Structure 1
Amino acid sequence: MTAPGGVDGGAEPVEAAIVQRRGRPRSVAVDTAVVETVLHLLEEGATIDDLSIERIARCAGVGKATLYRRWSGKDQLMLDVLRSIDEEPPALEGVSVRDDLVVLVDTIRRRGLAKRTSAVLRQIMAALQSRPELWDHYHRTVIEARRQQVYEVLSRGVRTGELRDDIDLEILGDLFSGPMLARSMMRPGTTLEEGLSERMVDAVLEGVRKSV
């Protein structure tokens, strides 16, 4: 198993990967080809531990040195792979808490419908236990932003009287997003039909709406 920092090469920490290296500008085409290669290999059933820098370079049709000029190791490359399948946070209307929650939960549903996204995320979840630094960085730069968006919607619901004010909002956020994450990530092949997000949100809201 590859240790954090990568046995495949550089041992620079994950944070160092987000600092632009000096020298010639990077080729977007090469970066895209490498990321697409990793995604294809994962879709075909390779695990993260199976993917050495040498194998990725060979399949992408570039030299190993080309990869090391861009990423200090495999973990840093995987961060860019993760970012490539992540969507921008959805725009919210900010009027109805219920409608905004449906938008957020449906983002998870639609991500689960995408074969590529689902396959990669399942691979990442399976491998993150041996890569805590990679998980920490992804959590802080991607997942935490999603959680904060949910928290802001719930906080607004409490202020406007749409939601009860006696519930831990962190737990409440998990109640809204958790069921869809479980279906899309932990149960491959489960139907993620239209309208599922609305039903999940309404099921939770039944118990947390403020009584009138």
Structure 2
Amino acid sequence: MESGHPAPGAPARGAPARGRPRSEAVERAILEGVIKLIEDGVPLAELSIERIARTAGVGKATIYRRWSGKEAVFVDVLRSLEEPPAELPGTSVRDDIIALVEYLRRRGLNMRSSAILHNVFAQMKSLPKLWQAYHETVIEPQQRRMYAVLRRGIENGELRPDIDIVFANELFVGPMLVRTVLRPNAPLDEDLAERIVDAVLAGLRPPE
């Protein structure tokens, strides 16, 4: 997959350009330019920084001041279309895990209703660099949140001390991912997250 490289000395993603304040309007125009190209049927593999810049009405340097390459742009496009991260109530490990799994359910509903998201995710499977960038910036932070909740559950006695948090995370999110990804026509009932979490917790709680 072809990607561009920032000009020497260009600030990394997230850092403002020297002497110029970041412009949310410019960033929004760039992201919307990518969305327009996708809506017009342009494959991700054919989207170059030059084409994105032309569509957004900006120069290539404007993009490189904000992103390291087109994979980073695509990831931010996906993030702009997704719901914000789940807010954890903090009342119990059960409640926090339900919030995290419920986020996946809502994301699945969003995927079903968004032709753009469905199209991009289908193409990402053949674009390893994009999938890696998405995994590092979106999926891994979600995993770390779950790991933190599980560790807290072990520390405060809500969960057994011998559980493997990586495996436990897979037990919680796996059923929801099956429903949202592998079985796109399966029902996503409003109480699905709660049912999944309670079923898994039954095997992870310490004996009374």
Normalised by the length of structure 2, the TM-score is: 0.77
SS for the counterpart of 1:188 is coil
More moved, 23-32 vs 60-69: 60-69
Match of 1:10 in 2: 5
Name structure 1 gaps, 5 residues minimum: none
Per-residue deviation, 1:26: 3.8
1:202 and 2:198 aligned: yes
Match of 1:163 in 2: 159
Change in Cα spacing, 1:207 to 1:20, as seen in structure 2 (3 Å) is same
- Aligned pairs for 1:1-212 within 5 A: 1-2=1-2, 6=3, 9-10=4-5, 16-42=12-38, 45-64=41-60, 66-68=62-64, 70-114=66-110, 115-116=113-114, 118-119=117-118, 122-123=121-122, 125-129=124-128, 131=129, 138-212=134-208
Please give the per-residue CA displacement for 1:132-154, whole angstroms capped at 9, x wherever unaligned: xx555544443333222212222
Compute the RMSD of aligned alpha carbons. 3.2
Output the CA distance in 1 between the equivalents of 2:98 and 2:107. Answer: 14
Output the CA distance in 2 between the equivalents of 1:21 and 1:143. Answer: 28
Change in Cα spacing, 1:126 to 1:55, as seen in structure 2 (3 Å) is same
More moved, 55-64 vs 34-43: 55-64
Does the aligned pair in 1 maintain the 2:101–2:193 contact within 8 Å?
yes
- More RCO (CA 8 Å, sep 6+): 1
- Percent of aligned positions that are identical: 51
Per-residue deviation, 1:68: 4.5
